[in-house]
């Protein structure tokens, strides 16, 4: 796992959830808000960032880990996750959603976390900024 170039220091120090964690939460159907995230031990936050979540089994494990962490460290009783057989999210598709305005050529060279960041950008201006940041990163690689 890596941090994306646009992520603030708060994400890099794990004071706030990095894009990679937010994407894993979205794909697994789990949730952690900001105060819950900050209440978890740093070692748990680091593991949530580092753990790979690409397959159905990994999504299930991640969702159960979130549930266990919330119960153990936050005293929250959350329902067992219902994990779909296959995840169909736009950031994992071969082509970007037409409404995103992201060029297909740029989409193909971005990893799943960068695609997720683009699609959850709060504004068109932010999306254009991210495309520029990611393009510079891809060119320098």
40 is a domain residue = yes
Give 106-132 pLDDT, tens digit per residue. 999 999 999 999 999 999 999 999 999
Q: Quick check: is 84 in a domain?
A: no
Q: Give the mean model confidence (pLDDT) for residues 17-38.
A: 96
Both 55 and 94 in one domain: the answer is: no
Residue 82 lies in a domain: no
Same domain, 69 and 97: no
Number of domains comprising the chain: 2
Domain final residue, candidates 19, 45, 74:
74
Q: Looking at the domain assignment, is residue 80 inside a domain?
A: no
Percent with pLDDT over 70 in the chain: 97
Contact partners, residue 32, CB within 8 Å, separation at least 6:
17, 21, 25, 40, 66, 70
- Which domain does 116 fall in, by range? 90-140
Question: Which pLDDT tens digit goes with each residue over 73-93?
Answer: 999 998 877 777 778 899 999
Q: Are 113 and 23 in contact (CB under 8 A)?
A: yes
What is this structure's pTM?
0.92
Same domain, residue pair 54 and 95 = no
């Amino acid at each position: 796992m890596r941090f994306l170039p646009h992520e603030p220091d708060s994400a890099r120090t794990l004071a706030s959830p990095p894009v990679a964690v937010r994407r894993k939460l979205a794909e697994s159907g789990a949730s952690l808000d900001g105060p819950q995230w900050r209440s978890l031990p740093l070692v748990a936050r680091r593991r949530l960032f580092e753990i790979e979540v690409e397959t159905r089994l990994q999504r299930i494990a991640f969702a159960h880990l979130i549930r266990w962490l919330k119960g153990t460290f936050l005293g929250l009783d959350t329902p067992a996750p219902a994990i779909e057989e296959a995840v169909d999210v736009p950031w994992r598709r071969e082509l970007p959603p037409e409404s995103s305005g992201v060029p297909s050529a740029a989409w193909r060279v971005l990893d799943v976390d960068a695609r997720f960041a683009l699609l959850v950008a709060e504004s068109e201006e932010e999306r254009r900024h991210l495309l520029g940041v990611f393009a510079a990163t891809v060119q320098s690689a």
